[in-house]
């Protein structure tokens, strides 16, 4: 049986991403792990999808000579080399990874900084939430009970 997909080399996705960014696309996610863990595939023959979700979903780079024959995308994302413009076929999730090669992508520095700021805002939000919950719980009967149990230990 001929292969329909092979592992997509890092440089192939980075080339797509650079073109996409030059066409006005933006990085949507910044991950602190290497590209290889994302299991990108390269389509080497025409293909269809069947709504794969979760661990069965894959990001797929699609060369210009290969056709997506349709089907439900599920959680798969398609990156069309012939149209690196973030088209409607699922290029709305456009991540970068911890590999140094991604630093050459236009918008990389801004995306990393935005992700860092978002993380800091999230941590501050969670700290406020935790403080509010702790303040509410301080007067509860359950907290008094738990604290009295700690005193016995």
State residue 87's pLDDT score: 52
Indicate if the pLDDT at residue 33 is higher than 80. Answer: yes
CA distance 65 to 29: 28
β pairing state of 5-7 and 59-62: unpaired
State residue 29's pLDDT score: 92
The model's confidence at residue 143, banded by pLDDT at 50, 70 and 90, is confident
State residue 144's pLDDT score: 85
CA distance 35 to 39: 8
Structure tokens at 64: 């210009």
The model's confidence at residue 135, banded by pLDDT at 50, 70 and 90, is confident
State residue 91's pLDDT score: 59
Query: Would you say how long the chain is, in residues?
Result: 153
Q: Where are the domains of the chain?
A: 1-106, 108-153
Structure tokens at 13: 């996705």
CB 97 within 8 A of CB 72: no
Indicate if the pLDDT at residue 61 is higher than 60. Answer: yes
93 versus 152: the higher-pLDDT residue is: 93
The model's pTM: 0.76
Q: What is the pLDDT of residues 71-113, one digit of tens each?
A: 999 999 999 998 776 554 555 789 999 999 999 998 889 888 8
CB 73 within 8 A of CB 92: no
CA distance 92 to 65: 22
CB 30 within 8 A of CB 115: yes
């Amino acid at each position: 049986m001929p292969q329909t997909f092979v592992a997509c080399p890092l440089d192939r996705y980075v080339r797509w991403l650079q073109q996409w960014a030059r066409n006005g696309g933006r990085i949507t996610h910044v991950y602190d792990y290497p590209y290889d863990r994302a299991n990108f595939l390269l389509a080497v023959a025409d293909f269809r999808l069947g709504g794969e979700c979760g661990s069965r979903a894959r990001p797929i780079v699609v060369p210009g000579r290969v056709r997506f024959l349709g089907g439900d995308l599920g959680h798969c994302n398609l990156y069309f080399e012939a149209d690196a413009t973030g088209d409607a076929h699922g290029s709305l999730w456009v991540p970068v990874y911890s590999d140094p090669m991604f630093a050459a992508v236009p918008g990389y520095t801004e995306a990393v900084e935005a992700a860092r700021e978002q993380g800091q805002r999230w941590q501050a939000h969670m700290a406020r939430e935790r403080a509010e919950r702790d303040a509410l719980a301080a007067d509860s009967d359950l907290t008094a009970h738990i604290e009295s149990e700690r005193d016995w230990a």
